[in-house]
Structure 1
Amino acid sequence: MMAETTRIRVREIAPAISQVQLPLPFALNHVNCYLLEDGDGWTILDTGLHWPAAEAGWHQALQALSIDPRQIRRIVLTHMHPDHFGMAGYLQEMTGAPIFVGAVEYAAIERIWIRDSWREAAAVDFWRGAGLDPQLLQTVTEQVAALRRRTMPHPANFVILDAHQPFTMGGRSFQPLVAPGHSDGQLIFYSSQDQLLLCGDQVLERITPNIGLWPGGDATPLQRYLNSLAELRQLGVTLALPGHYAPLTLWHERIATLQHHHELRLAAMLAAVAQLNREARHGPPCTALAVARSIFNFARFSEHEIRFAVAETLAHLVHLVNQRLLNEEIDHGIRRYRIPS
């Protein structure tokens, strides 16, 4: 079944599972949410960013599938990023459904979106330490404040989802799996009976998921992501339903491609540090921002994308430091990198 609606797409993508593709106001212009049918009720998996197009999209999706909002029994979140969490409070008000989320992601929601920790001194110092000048730092702070508004209203309450217990939805018993890296405690859901995986943003079809080092977040996100990929490569997966782009059927091949991408990116980061420090001669070693500028085409990036590029660069630089392929020095609060002598 396929139902075309204004700016959204609703389609049954597997038995008892419909995909709701909602628009996003970014270069990555959509997010995949899912409706899973259970008898006379439904579960929503991920919610989209809260803005008018997504509000209209959810109303159109429910109408297209003849779902009364009161039939929504649960709302489940894979992770805390605003394009997945943002509509949770709005949908809870509409449906009365409880919101299920993993413990790590709940703590991140409380810290970042509810408490607004991005304005705290530690977060400001983090970005300053990456090499951001005051103007770019102000832009990043304003941008995150604008994103926070896209997560309101915040849910009235949450239910912590136990990752050690099977979770039934869509007529299947799913095993929750903790899949860190893209987000510290992202939960994905595996059904062994039909080898179906609701994989969140852990593995995507056309792009590599952003693996970033963020204020207050995991200290080794890339290592944890690579460990997760190695574990997920052992699963038998016939169909994986991601948070963006098309379903995945070549699961093991896609994971191998992502692993190779990070090998190449680490080599490029190492080469960039060496080149930047050669060019600086007797100047101070390079910052994460300088490395990011040499790897990514900032001229084509929005401030939103620059923030992600710097966070991803930091994650790779920290990985290289932990492998003792780089040295990190702290100079008046600025993190600088050089090749070991």
Structure 2
Amino acid sequence: MSISTAPSSVEEVVPGVHRVRLPLPFALNHVNCYLLEDDDGWTVLDTGLHRPEIYAGWQAAFARLGIALGDIRRIVVTHMHPDHIGLAGRLQQETGAPVFMSPREWEVAEAAWVHGERQDEALPAYLRRVGAPPEVGALVASQQQKLRQMTQPTPVDVAFLNPGETLRMAGRRFEVIHAPGHADGQILFYAPSERLIFCGDQVLQHITPNIGLWPSTQPNPLQRYMESLQSLMALEVTLALPGHYEAILNWRGRLCELLRHHEERLQAAYAAAANGATALEVSYAIFDFDRLSPHEIRFAVAEALAHLEYLAEEGRLERYERDGFVAYRPA
């Protein structure tokens, strides 16, 4: 992997809240992390990958804001994907700060990043079962190993945050909200007094979050994601700070766009399975594979599978065996 040339940057988005944009070596070439200031120190919200260039971005941010490592009081992780948790372990080692995340996300993080060798075996078998050729499974296992290297060392003694709890950051009281779909146990942070939300990767501008079904994923992630979006409609939000791209100012409008996108993709997936199809075949129909990197191919297959499973659970498609693969056809 070659690191993106996207530069690191630090910007105060509201008083006491600084967005730290860090580069990623993917087509999605950056991640938004945040530094939140309180009288007794700072909170780090999400961390980026563990790579020298990305750690240098944190060092530059600390220097710019006059933050010593001992000033970091807490590290909060919205979800276990490597671009959000990757540096949490090293920052914990260097600052002594506790790491907070949801119990489910730590459970999945342990499976993927601490005991990940098991997933290296499970992923190719899983992809083969849904129609991917062996070379795709081997490529995905190799990519997973590289990602795991960028999460080491992993955090220890993780403290848990549960929905309904509150957390004080940047002088504000944030409610912890469970937002599944993109990740089973992803948590968001909402300050009703200021109509401010840290929305992780649940709601993004410009792109739609990946909703995939993986060996470790709880059933029907797309249904849970769409239900989550519906529940988030009830929040009064004037500023949403996401894990990628720019802040979201039209909260309900963006939620409606995401729901509409998945309704359209469900229609496309149903049409692609009209004569029976595997998840790989459906992903060819709804994604432009010529534009996908090896890193992105697995996300396309997992997302197609999530849509097919949604339709199967609705009773519109049925699962059946075809040449040893799981396939789908109209019920």
Greater Cα offset, 77-86 or 296-305? 296-305
Amino acid at match of 2:86: G
Q: State the partner residue of 2:204.
A: 204
SS of residue matched to 1:237:
coil
Q: State the partner residue of 1:73.
A: 73
Separation in 2 of the partners of 1:260 and 1:162? 29
TM-superposed deviation, 1:162: 3.0
Q: State the partner residue of 1:266.
A: 266
Separation in 2 of the partners of 1:22 and 1:319? 34
Taking only the aligned residue pairs, the percentage that are identical comes to 50
Where do residues 150-229 of structure 1 align in structure 2 (5 Å cutoff)? Answer: 150-229=150-229
The answer to whether the Cα contact below 8 Å between 2:181 and 2:224 also exists between their aligned partners in 1 is yes
The answer to whether the Cα contact below 8 Å between 1:125 and 1:333 also exists between their aligned partners in 2 is no
Where do residues 305-320 of structure 1 align in structure 2 (5 Å cutoff)? Answer: 305-320=296-311
TM-superposed deviation, 1:119: 2.0
Q: State the partner residue of 1:281.
A: none
Q: Does 1:97 align with 2:88?
A: no
The answer to whether the Cα contact below 8 Å between 2:23 and 2:30 also exists between their aligned partners in 1 is yes
Separation in 1 of the partners of 2:214 and 2:65? 38
- Map Cα deviations across residues 98-157 of structure 1 (whole Å, 9 max, x no partner): 10010110101111111113124x433321111111111100111111111010111232
The answer to whether the Cα contact below 8 Å between 2:92 and 2:98 also exists between their aligned partners in 1 is yes
Amino acid at match of 1:244: H
- Map Cα deviations across residues 278-324 of structure 1 (whole Å, 9 max, x no partner): xxxxxxx3210111011111111111111110110000000011111
Amino acid at match of 2:296: E
Greater Cα offset, 103-112 or 156-165? 156-165
Amino acid at match of 1:303: P
Structure 1 runs of 4+ aligned residues shifted over 2 Å read: 122-125, 330-333
- Listed as ranges, the gaps of 5+ residues in structure 2 are 1-5
Q: State the partner residue of 1:280.
A: none
Amino acid at match of 1:119: D
Q: Does 1:336 align with 2:323?
A: no
Separation in 2 of the partners of 1:234 and 1:164? 15
Q: State the partner residue of 1:135.
A: 135
CA RMSD of aligned residues (A): 1.2
Task: Select which of 279, 301, 317 maps to 1:326.
Answer: 317
Where do residues 102-141 of structure 1 align in structure 2 (5 Å cutoff)? Answer: 102-116=102-116, 117-120=118-121, 122-141=122-141
> What is the count of residue pairs matched by the alignment?
325
Where do residues 140-151 of structure 1 align in structure 2 (5 Å cutoff)? Answer: 140-151=140-151
TM-score, length basis structure 1:
0.93
- Listed as ranges, the gaps of 5+ residues in structure 1 are 1-5, 278-284
Amino acid at match of 1:106: W
TM-superposed deviation, 1:333: 4.4
Q: State the partner residue of 1:33.
A: 33
TM-superposed deviation, 1:37: 0.4
Amino acid at match of 2:245: Y
Amino acid at match of 1:7: P
Q: Does 1:292 align with 2:283?
A: yes
Q: Does 1:55 align with 2:46?
A: no
SS of residue matched to 1:28:
coil
Q: State the partner residue of 2:45.
A: 45
Separation in 2 of the partners of 1:163 and 1:324? 31
TM-superposed deviation, 1:40: 3.4
SS of residue matched to 1:67:
coil
- Map Cα deviations across residues 19-62 of structure 1 (whole Å, 9 max, x no partner): 00000000000000000001130000000011122111000010
Separation in 2 of the partners of 1:288 and 1:36? 42
The answer to whether the Cα contact below 8 Å between 2:123 and 2:140 also exists between their aligned partners in 1 is no
Separation in 2 of the partners of 1:310 and 1:123? 12
Q: State the partner residue of 1:3.
A: none
